[in-house]
Chains A and B, each alone.
Chain A
Amino acid sequence: MNNESQDTSATVSDTTEKVRKSLGKRYAREKRFKLFGVIAIVASLSFLAVLIISITIRGLPAFKQTFLNLDVTLDADTLGVDENPDEDALRKANYNGSIKNSLLALFPDVKKRKDKKALYKFVSTGGQYDLQAMVMADPSLIGQTINVWLPVGDDASGYLRGHIDTSVPEKKRRFKDNQITWIEELKADNKVQTKFNHTFFSRGDSREPEMAGIKGSLFGSILTLMVTLALSFPIAVATAIYLEEFAPKNRWTDIIEVNINNLAAVPSIVFGLLGLAIFINFFNLPRSAPIVGGLVLSLMTLPTIIISARAALKSVPPSIRDAALGLGASNLQVVFHHVLPLAMPGILTGTIIGMAQALGETAPLLMIGMVAFIVDVPTSLTDPATVLPVQIFQWADLPEKGFVEKTSAAIMVLLGFLIAMNAIAVLLRRKFEQKW
């Protein structure tokens, strides 16, 4: 007996000894693991910081625009209109001619054709459209001299922002020495001013960086997401409720469940092909329209919302159902009066995350014609439209340097939306979440 107890105590102390020996090693392992975790987080955060800072630095100038002050004489001769011009004539009038004249009036010494051309580039091609809009709103301006601020052209605004390296030999520079002298003169005369860039938020796409805005693609995104939300939310929630609360558990529902999970993993371009074949070719819906984009994106977001909605429904404790049933509620009443409202915060979070995914998607839209140059701002679901990520992709591909900052600015707007949507998801969860 005594012997035995001694034996056990020996083994115990052996084990303790072993444990004690390995303890240091195990603690070290844990420490290492924690360290790797911290390193990973710090590394990814710093990458994110670098990305956001570089985008912000590059994009911020796009929110400012440089304007040039000009006295423009709108005489009928230069404009090429007669005394009582109709709307069509006003639209076609040669506003550029008036702008050129007023530029030449500022620099009477410029005589050579090449120099004149260089001078004309100071005013953006969009300047004539601004004048056009003014005159069409008030035709009595014809014959008068008006003082206007017109947007500065791409190269000159690049110079004013310090994007042009003057140490490069003149031949290689897009902005020449004589242009620098002129613009400095204008600057000294207080004829150049930088103001907030309203154009960026009030116009659609353009081929001139000074005139390009994101309103068109922003509205396109909003219209598309409205369709996506309106279709995918009710269908997904109904599917989730049926599968979770009513459907019998058999082979068929298993197959459906597996396929919903599979759908969530299908590459999005496949949905684009599907959209092209079914919505455009079969149902004859118009190409490039937000309605088709919304339909395609809702196919993509449906599985995401169904899965999160089912998880939310599952997390409602059975005691709530039992209590309601015990008080005489029908199954339908249990679901709609008790389970669904309690699961709503989780469902909404899933929906918003699904919507955020849809907001950043471009691949499926390529197939249905939403990757396009569209100037007019869409106002209905069938108007041609494009979306924010597509706009970013298109601007990144254009040669003019002014589009570099526009690209970054558009990325900032898109990121702002994504952050706002995710913040709403977090807030909803915080506010309504129930803990059991």
Chain B
Amino acid sequence: MTRISAISKTAKKTATIAAQVTALLLASSMASAQTARDQISIVGSSTVYPFATVVAEKFGQTSKHKTPKIESTGSGGGMKLFCNGVGVEHPDITNSSRRIKKGEFESCAENGVTEIIEVLIGYDGITLSNSIDAELFELTRKDIFLALAKEVPDPDGGDELIENPYVQWFDVNPDLPEIDIEVIGPPPTSGTRDAFVELAMEGGCKSIESIAALKESDSQTFKEVCHTIREDGAFIEAGENDNLIVQKLEANPDALGIFGFSFLEQNSDLVQPSYIDGFEPTFESIADGSYPVSRPLYFYVKKAHVGVIPGIDEFLAEFTSEGAWGEEGYLADKGMIPLGDDIREESAASIAALETMTMD
């Protein structure tokens, strides 16, 4: 009996405390229903995320403002949040691993986000690498297309498109080794995959006359042929985690993997990059554009928020300072390929003046 009453007492106590806490919570949530925000809110691309976070951290440490909050939502998802409207409940900046699309720009404008500052911050290379113990590949974009597309022109001649018949790299190009085609890459939801398909596959596509001709006559089919990766097991989707791809390459020397340049830099003792169209992906070859598979990295700022959310202008200044995005800056240390000297100087000035973009 005493035991039961003791338990009942505790239970009663717990219930009262719980009720009090609930009441408190509800009150606090009502009170805080967003009136102001003193922290920059950034959303967008997972490719820009590792670079934007470095700047944000430095900014948080060296200014009197809070460290910006950065969500990794992907370029498209970030743009959607960004374009939802002006006001503290919407993000101030969105990162993107491609330029803003016309449709997105228009939907922004419809929601009142008319003044957008566009900042091109640098480039990211996409590499096709294999284990350091394996043979070095020297590929062309055409080889990549032929090895990985779902449908390719009949190797026996004719313009007919047939299901990809190539089993070994040797079949694609006699200069390549006699091992089975096995490429590990990111899933279709990834921006890296989009860029790889657009730059490497489509680039190779264009070098095949019969398909290149399609671009003028039937651009829909052209895109479908060039952008569709084979699904018969030669291309393996490995999820969004680039570290996982590196680990798989280490375990399987016959496989090639697709991932960003910054992962190559960090793992140069485990994997080696294939040459594409005669160029090795290095800092220099990506910067001067000779390595063909690289993409621009952007971020977009809502001008209406500058001055309302404290610190945006200082954050822009930090991002566009030589110490950050310059050739010797800390972003380059993290694997971002900087822009040319004069472009940097020019855009830093226009960003400082808060010049907004237009869409042609």
Contact = CB atoms under 8 A, between A and B. Distances in A.
B41 interface: yes
Interface string B41-69: 10000100110011011001111101101
Contact of A399 (B63, B89, B263): B263
A397 interface: yes
Given A344-B7, A397-B241, A399-B266, A288 B71 contact: yes
A327 interface: no
Interface in A415-436: 432
Contact of B25 (A227, A376, A432): A227
Contacts of A375: 56-57, 60, 67
Interface in B62-85: 62-64, 66-67, 69-72
Nearest to A372: B71
- Size class of the contact patch on chain B: 35 or more
Contacts of B185: none
A173 B269 contact: yes
Contact of B28 (A125, A132, A206, A382): A382
Nearest to A374: B69
- Size class of the contact patch on chain A: 35 or more
Given A230-B25, A231-B25, A91 B34 contact: no
Interface string A366-389: 000101111110001110100000
Interface of B: 4-5, 7-8, 10-12, 15, 18-19, 21-22, 25, 28-29, 32-34, 37, 39, 41, 46, 49-50, 53-54, 56-57, 60-64, 66-67, 69-72, 89, 132, 240-243, 262-263, 265-269, 272, 328, 330, 334-335
B38 to A, nearest CB: 11
Nearest to A288: B69
A188 interface: no
Contacts of A398: 50, 243
A91 B243 contact: no
A98 B240 CA distance: 40
A338 interface: yes
Describe B's contact surface by its main secondary structure. Answer: helix
A305 interface: no
Given A227-B25, A291-B29, A396-B241, A172 B69 contact: no
B15 A234 contact: yes
A92 B7 contact: no
Given A230-B18, A373-B56, A432 B7 contact: yes
A286 interface: yes
21 contacts: A87-B64, A117-B328, A125-B330, A168-B269, A174-B265, A174-B269, A207-B54, A234-B22, A286-B34, A288-B69, A336-B8, A338-B4, A341-B4, A342-B4, A371-B71, A372-B69, A373-B49, A394-B72, A396-B243, A399-B50, A399-B267
Contact of A164 (B32, B132, B269, B334): B269
Interface of A: 87-88, 91-92, 117, 125, 129, 132, 164-165, 168, 172-174, 206-208, 226-227, 229-231, 233-234, 237, 280, 283-288, 291, 336-338, 340-342, 344, 369, 371-376, 380-382, 384, 394, 396-401, 404, 432
A369 B71 contact: yes
B11 A340 contact: yes
Given A88-B64, A373-B72, 6 more contacts: A87-B64, A91-B62, A376-B67, A381-B25, A381-B32, A399-B266
A397 B245 CA distance: 11
A337 B9 CA distance: 9
Contacts of B328: 117
B61 A165 contact: no
